[in-house]
């Protein structure tokens, strides 16, 4: 077994059912944030401008919105959760360390704390995976035939 297989096996063996509800809530929060970005694109562009991102601002906005919407839905369903989490992590690192930290560590900065909790949960689900209540587990059952 290589390291990735060991981590995957450990994640499958140590995954209580209540964590699946945390995964679903995390996905809902990420999708809601993506929808809020769609509703107010100009504020997202201003946030990305604060980070002095070198690529096109609008391409970064589209990447963030697409990753939040599609990745959040995948996390809710438990479909390719590790991949969806890995795609979300760079966005949340940027949100925590470059955007929200400029407002300080006060308890009044709720956006910073929400971003930090979401980042930690994404790292957790990157390690442990989808869990027992997910589409990944349903498709791994014997007798499941995928028809395209």
Model confidence pLDDT, tens digit, residues 64-112: 889 999 999 999 999 989 899 999 999 888 888 877 776 666 667 678 8
The answer on pLDDT for 148 being more than 60 is no
Cα–Cα distances (Å) from 18 to 10, 25, 26, 27, 102, in that order, read 17, 11, 13, 15, 34
pLDDT of residue 40: 80
Q: Is the pTM of this model over 0.95?
A: no
pLDDT in tens, 17-72: 788 899 999 999 999 999 988 888 777 767 666 666 666 666 777 888 899 999 99
User: Who contacts 45 (Cβ-Cβ below 8 Å, separation ≥6)?
Assistant: 57, 58, 61
């Amino acid at each position: 077994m290589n390291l990735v297989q060991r981590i995957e096996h450990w994640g499958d063996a140590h995954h209580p059912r209540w964590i699946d509800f945390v995964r679903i809530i995390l996905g809902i929060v990420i999708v809601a944030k993506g929808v809020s970005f769609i509703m107010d694109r100009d504020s997202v562009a201003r946030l990305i401008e604060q980070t002095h991102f070198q690529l096109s601002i609008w391409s970064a906005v589209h990447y963030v919105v697409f990753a939040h919407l599609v990745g959040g839905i995948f996390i809710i369903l438990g479909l390719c959760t590790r991949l969806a989490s890995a795609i979300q992590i760079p966005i949340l690192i940027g949100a925590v360390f470059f955007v929200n930290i400029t407002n300080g560590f006060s308890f009044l900065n709720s956006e910073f704390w929400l971003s930090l909790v979401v980042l930690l949960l994404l790292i957790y689900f990157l390690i442990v995976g989808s869990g027992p209540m997910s589409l990944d587990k349903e498709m791994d059952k014997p007798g499941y035939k995928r028809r395209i």
